Amino acid sequence: MHPFSFTKATDTREALNAGRQGGRYIAGGTTLVDLMRETVERPETLVDISDLPLREVSVTERGGLRIGALVSMTETAAHPKVRALFPLVSEALELSASAQLRNMATIGGNIMQRTRCTYFRDVTADCNKREPGSGCAALHGFNRMHAILGTSESCVATHASDVAVAFAALEATVHLLGPDGERRVPFADFLLRPGNTPNQEQNIRRGELITAVEIPALPRPLKSGYLKVRDRQSYEFALTSAAVALHVRGGVIREAKVAAGGVGTVPWKLPAVERHLIGERPSDALWTAAAEQAAGGARPLENNRFKVALLKRTVERQLRVVGGTK
Ligand code: SF4
């Protein structure tokens, strides 16, 4: 591990001052400390923000949900308001990592986590995300876990977060506070596709701090759920996943929010699937036809061609689970 200095911020102003000078924020530390041990990350200054007042879950005036950036994954998943309003968020969190990690990791840290691409974590391998311009060992290496959507010639790594898939489906907003004031970024614009700059992963400016994630209100009743398909039943990342929320009134689907994980360089919103559902009556045939739209634009790699069919099946199954069978 490279030497670094450590400071604990006692209030937001102090944190922002340290962040403006290049300090890296740390709270749960479940990703960053690992990466520092492996010398993938070499920050000169860590700024501990775990004492900042960002630990509240609240219902917004319009009936949405605001989750403070420092609320742990465990606390978020168990919160009665989260379970009542957006159970898919709880499900996505409970299917993530281990209980010990969920107790430490925060919502802000979760969406800032870096890829689990093994070449990224191996400092002897070529990796454009870690060392821009060095190449991508995964392109012609073992790429079974890698992305089939949103890839570039520079990087094909997936984003590993489960709850980010739920946030993408529900069209959440990320609240940021920085030296220039507050900013709100739609979740779809927060995590960046790799393009030619895979080292830039988030739409976040120097010194900015995530303060909360806000999920907008959706019409009620709303049924929702998260399905994660993986090689083993715990402590494993998704091969594919699907976050689904449906509002059905008068026997017709009025709202559909769908996103997939494990397949994209960012959590992958599925607007073509959503369009196929809205205005239709739930049926097995509808779930199958809508899920057929899920893999549009996919560019599989040598070892992950199976993800195209698996993605469609995952979406179809979760549509059926949430929407019911007729
Ligand atoms: Fe690095 Fe991305 Fe290639 Fe993995 S897929 S080796 S993270 S550039």
Tokens standing for 1? 């591990």
Query: What pLDDT does residue 326 have?
Result: 57
pLDDT tier, 319 (very low <50, low <70, confident <90, very high otherwise): very high
* Average of per-residue pLDDT across 173-198: 96
Q: Are strands 45-48 and 5-8 parallel, antiparallel or unpaired?
A: parallel
Mean pLDDT for 15-38 is 94
Q: Please work out whether the CB of residue 149 comes within 6 Å of at least one atom of ligand 1.
A: no
Q: How far apart are CA 216 and CA 218, in angstroms?
A: 6
Atom 3 in ligand 1: which residue has the minimum CA distance? 136
Residue 151 Cβ < 6 Å to ligand 1? no
- 115, 121, 131, 151: residue to mutate for ligand 1 pocket, most atoms within 8 A of CB: 115
Ligand 1 pocket member 138 (CB < 6 A): yes
Give 72's DSSP letter: B
Task: Assess contact for 247 and 254: CB atoms under 8 A.
Answer: yes
Q: What is the mean pLDDT of residues 246-275?
A: 98
Cα of 139 from ligand 1 centre, angstroms: 8
How many A from CA of 140 to the centre of ligand 1?
A: 11
Query: Can you give the pLDDT at residue 306?
Result: 98
**Class assignment of domain 223-323?**
alpha beta
Using DSSP's 3-state secondary structure scheme, residue 111 falls into helix
CA of 119 to the centre of ligand 1 (A): 6
Measured from the Cβ of residue 20, the count of other Cβ atoms closer than 10 Å reads 15
Beta bridge partners of 214: 66, 173
Q: Say if ligand 1 is within 6 A of residue 137 CB.
A: yes
* Ligand 1 contact, 128 CB (< 6 A): yes
pLDDT at position 234 is 82
For 211-249, write each residue's pLDDT tens digit: 999 999 999 999 999 999 999 988 889 999 999 999 999
Per the CB < 8 A criterion, the answer to whether 131 and 155 are in contact is no
